Structure 1
Amino acid sequence: MRDISVPALAAPLRSGGLADSVFDTAAHQPDFAQLARRDDHTPGDWQEVSAAEFRDEVMALARGLLADGIRPGTRVALMSRTRYEWTLFSYALWAIGGQLVPVYPTASAEQLRCILAGAKVTAIVVENEAQAMTVAEACDARATLRRLWQLDLDCVRRLTEEGTRLTEADVHRLRHAVSPGDIAAIVYTSGTTGRPRGCVITHANLAAGCDTLYAGWGGLLAAPGERPSLLAFLPFAHIYGLMVQVACLRGGVKLAHQPDVTSDELLPALASFRPTFLFAVPYVFEKICARARQAAEQAGRRRTFDAAMTVAVRYAEALAAEAQGTGRGPDPFLRARHALYDRLVYSRIRELLGGRVRTAVSGGSPLLRELGLLFAGAGITVYDGYGLTETSGAITVQPPGRVRFGTVGMPLPGSAVHLALDGEVWVRGAVVFAGYLDEDGAAESGLYDGWLATGDLGHLDEDGYLVITGRKKDIIITSNGKSVAPQGLEQRLCAHPLISQCVVVGDNRPYVTALITLDPEALEHWHHLREEPGGDSEAPTPEEQLQAEVRRAVARANASVSRAESIRAFRVLPGEFSQEAGLVTPSLKLRRAAIVRRYAAEIDALYAQGQREEPETRQDRRRWAAAGLYAR
């Protein structure tokens, strides 16, 4: 199968813009709990914000922006973590026809300089003085920046006071002039393979995806009788996070914000807010599983936990086979073991998310099949999806009630997928952007007769489910002419609790090798569990045990590919790839070319110590393995 399309499910936005939903909801349901904010006095408590209250705040801030010189078409950058004011500023800006330019709060001066100049940004909102200093460093002769507002200096209150000299009619006049085809946001790509590009996203683009998801998947957001609620922690500077915000405001889902995504901050927030649904990326699901495993280890129940995980995967596989007509479902013995572990283990995993989440969505990168099965077996069905900045978020998603693990689903209703002869995924639909921003700040098309070439490789199964196999630019071609897609191997390695990042290399080399980094928190926990007084002097040292653990992880990953595609040697690096070093994008994607350049010496050493394709003797294999150079 090379083509598939799905009929539209939701009507397109025919008039107005994104801000209209705020005013419409307030007019029809003024007391409706639209958002929730942390209680300043009791951090574990949340205060609801009604639709009328939020409408009034948006209106007041919109008047302030007008009074300070913002006009329709003005581009305003927003450099902040995921917080209430992000949502407030974006809707106030859309209410007067302004254009939002999201910026990651961790962006460097060079990255910010590129965005400010490329998008011709006139004003910017920052959180704190450190970000303000980054803005100052980024401004050069090309900068068009005229205003800077700082959240921790109470800029919302000051703008609101300034806006009192204007009337609400001034805002409504501009809001009614906004049309679906107007630009809502200029969202920059992550720039994994080059300079970030500004994607022109219209009000209609964002509305199409959000309305379609709510129309088709709205019933999954909460159990019957429960009010849907969501804790947003993904960065709103990423199109995925921005889509989540708009979907909540358009779909009537109570929205709360969590700025800090470290485990120590995110998990307590989930426990106190108790959302009914979860939007996340694979990394978050991996962290949740790792935290549950650590708790089990500390309680001396590691074997029970591992057995429960095995049962969860087998149980979910059996249910999936039954749904697809290829199996009879779980047998009575498996059902009994699953019921036992549900009380002992799975319920504890659900409690980490607040206890009410039964359905979630994963995006940003494909979710490993085994991880999806594990969560499904634990009582949380994860709907994996696929999209790009250019598609305003999702372009494919698992159909309701018909999840096929290991795929990213079928085209979003109203969209189509085509596979080119070389396997590249092409897409089109109402969610596909208006084009790229050119050097003069105007939009230039990146489309071919309405089709977007995504740069991703994949295939469609017999039922039209899309499987992403890698990035076209990431394909490794060894000196033997073998083409290797590194993504699958890297995902499998990173599924190990100790492994944080992995880059598979091998272009123009005789075989494939890997650079691996370890998760500092997991590593500390691993060492803590192995701290024993005294000990056998003949026993392996902790460093040798660690190398052995990583070797086993590499061997397990290798089992999923052919011998020619397997990792023959690896090097564990002393620290993680970081954004500060220019090796990771703000959305946590690896900059492969930069990593290969930075660690060229280490890569050369991997191959220099293995001129032969295989170590010839058992003694060589042991010596190489001890050095982390031999995987299997």
Structure 2
Amino acid sequence: MNVLLKAIEHVVRAQPNEVAFTGVLNGELATLSYQQFWQHANDVSQRLRALGCRCIALREQNGLPWAVIDIAAQLANVVLVPVPHFFSDSQVAHLLSDSGADLLIGDWHVNDLTGHGIESIAPIYGLSAMRIASEQSELLPETCKVTFTSGSTGQPKGVCLSADNLYRVSQSLANVVRPTVNNGAHLAVLPLATLLENITAIYVPLLLGQSSVLLSGAQVGLKGSSQFDPATFATALATHRPSSVVLTPALLEVLVALVERTPELGRCFQFIAVGGARVSSSVMAQAHRLGLPAFQGYGLSECASVVSVNTPTHTSIDSAGQVLEHQQVRIDEQGQLWVTGNIALGYIREPFTEQWLATGDLAQLDEHGYLTITGRVKNQLITAYGRNVSPEWVEAEAHGFASLRSLVVVGDGEKSLTAVVVHDSPADVMRDLRLLNQGLPDYAQLKHCLCLADYPQDRPLWTANGKPLRPNFEQWANDQRHSIITIGQ
């Protein structure tokens, strides 16, 4: 039994009758005590051993089966590969081939698997299951879970994580939130196939002896990877009264808007973690004014998720918080962040051999140990005056203005920066750009604007997961010089 399972078993024995999970099971809302959950996971692990499988690809909405199968796979020493629903068919095919998964559980359709040898078998904990003909992949030794990054290009990369990797980050997070989150339950809003939610909605509550609510995306308002229904989210909050959630910056903006209209929705929270991208300082300040305990953090799959996070007792609102106890960081002369202490085993067939990992992120570390992520090394713009500007930083600040949420910054090699914005009111855009500039240093201010009704359909401007292809944006914006206007004071 690995170190994470031993820690969870200790909690099970200490409080067998406390509620561990509430969630969907066979279409109905149900609860599992710690003892019931542990027994169900052990029963499923026996089934997995009998099947003799090596690697499970789990493609399923949030619910009790997801949590049970996650722990059961570890008990059976079987590698688990979560499969995001928003992956394209080609990305899923790549994931299956790269991981060598030989058992599919959950929401799989035979039509999607043409060309594979498929054998349907009896359901596993209420979920459909199929054996799939697969060659054994060269997963790295000690791999417990493979999380596939969405990738800035088409094909995701499989990050191999050990049980020790998962335990270290989960225990550090449990230690951080223990003084704050002392009752209530965590509500999983992001998909459990997302490593951050996997850790915060399953492992951390189990280590804390607390409860977690696992609802499908439709039940919390999440549709795909980029659509969200605020009314459904509000209903879930009113029904379950969670003490903690993990949100992306966009979802925090939704929560802020909801709480402005209905303050009662915000009173249940003790800890709101925000990650996935830099958060606008104005949005974070607005959340705090409403009494929302929102705290920005930073992490990456190659470090088993969270590296740093703000807390109620140690907060710097514009930063990603202080580094967790299991990690160490340094910043090189180019401003790039390096991390050590809980590095993943590596990518499939590509073990990490160095003690320190170059994150590819630009960062600053102040005298109090607060880490601020300013952008990506490869995206850094250098103006004609030699000033380095992270476009992600400016874009994050722009998200605090309703008309600027589509803003992309261009201007590499130019004397000044240009905002590319899609919006139906150029007047609103110009007004908000002037307000944005008031909070930016002169070298990062946006002096010009290209305001459009929509992006062109014949130009590849975005990656598969919705990030701007910056060289393409630069070239395209240069072609549109005749439409660029100057932003006045």
Which TM bucket (shorter chain)? 0.7 to 0.9
- Equivalent position of 1:233 in the other structure: 189
Q: Given the alignment of the two structures, is residue 352 of structure 1 paired with residue 321 of structure 2, yes or no?
A: no
Q: Is the 8 A contact 2:169 2:305 kept in 1?
A: yes
Cα 1:83/1:231, change in 2 over 3 Å? same
Residues 144-183 of structure 1: CA distance to partner in whole angstroms, max 9, x if unpaired?
x75678xxx96534789xxxxxxxxxxxxxxxxxxxx832
Residues 1:48 and 2:31 are matched in the alignment = yes
Q: How does 1:246-265 map to 2 (within 5 A)?
A: 246-260=203-217, 261=222, 262=228, 263-265=230-232
Aligned partners of 2:418 and 2:449 also within 8 Å: yes
Of the three residues 32, 44, 55, the one matched with 1:61 is: 44
TM-score (norm 1): 0.67
Query: Structure 2: which 5+ residue stretches go unaligned?
Result: 130-140, 223-227
Out of 200-209 and 495-504, give the one that drifted further: 495-504
Q: 2:357 aligns with which of 452, 476, 487?
A: 452
Picking from 356, 361, 374, the partner of 2:273 is 361
Aligned to 2:468: 592
CA shift, 1:28, in A, is 3.6
C-alpha distance in 1 between matches for 2:67 and 2:455: 32
Aligned equivalents of 1:465, 1:22: Cα separation in 2: 31
- Give the structure 1 partner of residue 135 of structure 2: none
Q: Is the 8 A contact 2:282 2:397 kept in 1?
A: no
How does the TM-score come out when normalised to structure 2?
0.85
Which has more helix, going by share of residues?
1
SS at structure 2 position matched to 1:58: helix
Q: How many residues align?
A: 466
Which residue in the other structure is 1:18 paired with?
4
Q: 1:233 Cα shift?
A: 1.4
Where structure 1 has 5 or more consecutive residues not aligned to the other structure, the ranges are 1-14, 161-180, 296-347, 519-542, 611-623
User: Take 2:157 and 2:306, find their aligned partners in 1: how far apart are those partners?
Assistant: 19
SS of the equivalent of 1:34 reads: strand
Whether 1:378 and 2:290 are equivalent positions in the alignment is yes
Q: Counterpart of 1:525?
A: none
Q: Which moved more, 1:233-242 or 1:372-381?
A: 372-381
- Give the secondary-structure state (helix, strand or coil) at the position aligned to 1:113: helix
Shift of residue 454, structure 1, vs aligned partner: 0.8
Give the one of 487, 497, 512 matched to 2:402.
497
Aligned positions of 1:68-107 closer than 5 A: 68-70=51-53, 74-107=54-87
**Aligned-partner Cα distance in 2 for 1:47–1:485:** 47
Instruction: Report if aligned partners of 1:361, 1:385 keep a CA contact under 8 Å in 2.
Output: yes
- What is aligned with 1:468? 373
Superposition deviation, residue 195 in structure 1:
4.2
Alignment of 1:498-513 (within 5 A): 498-513=403-418
Determine if the alignment matches structure 1 residue 280 to structure 2 residue 247: yes
Distance 1:40 1:126, change over 3 A: closer
Q: Which residue of 2 aligns with 1:168?
A: none
How far apart, CA to CA, are the structure 2 residues paired with 1:123 and 1:572?
49
Which sits farther off after the overlay, 377-386 or 452-461?
377-386
1:424 aligned residue: 336
Q: Which residue of 2 aligns with 1:302?
A: none
Question: Equivalents in 2 of 1:460, 1:281: separation in Å?
Answer: 23
SS state of the match for residue 105, structure 1? coil
Distance 2:90 2:488 in 1: 39
Instruction: Provide, for residues 46-66 of structure 1, a one-character-per-residue CA deviation record: whole Å limited to 9, x for no partner.
Output: 543111222232223223333
* Shift of residue 283, structure 1, vs aligned partner: 1.6
Q: CA deviation at 1:456?
A: 0.7
Q: Hey, what's the Cα distance between the residues in 2 that align with 1:146 and 1:20?
A: 35
1:118 equivalent to 2:118? Answer no
2:187–2:245 contact (8 Å) kept in structure 1 = yes
2:133 maps to which residue?
Answer: none
Sequence identity (%): 22
Rate the CA distance shift 1:258–1:221 in 2: closer, same or farther, 3 A: same
Computing the radius of gyration from Cα coordinates, the structure with the larger value is 1
C-alpha contact 1:19 1:92 (8 A) present in aligned 2 = no
What's 2:225 paired with?
A: none
Distance in 1 separating the partners of 2:471 and 2:456: 11
Aligned residue identity for 1:502: L
2:175 match: 215
Q: Summarize the Cα distance change of 1:566–1:186 in structure 2 as closer, same or farther, 3 Å threshold.
A: same
Contact 2:407/2:421 (<8 A) preserved = yes
Bigger relative CO (Cα 8 Å, ≥ 6 apart) = 1
**CA deviation profile, 1:470-500 (whole Å, cap 9, x unmatched):** 1111102345544321112111222223444
1:468–1:148 Cα change, 3 Å: farther
Aligned-CA RMSD value? 3.1
Q: How far apart, in 2, do the equivalents of 1:562 and 1:490 lie?
A: 14
Matches of 2:151 and 2:94, distance apart in 1: 12
Amino acid at match of 2:20: Q
1:605: Cα distance to partner? 4.2
Aligned amino acid, residue 19 of structure 2: A
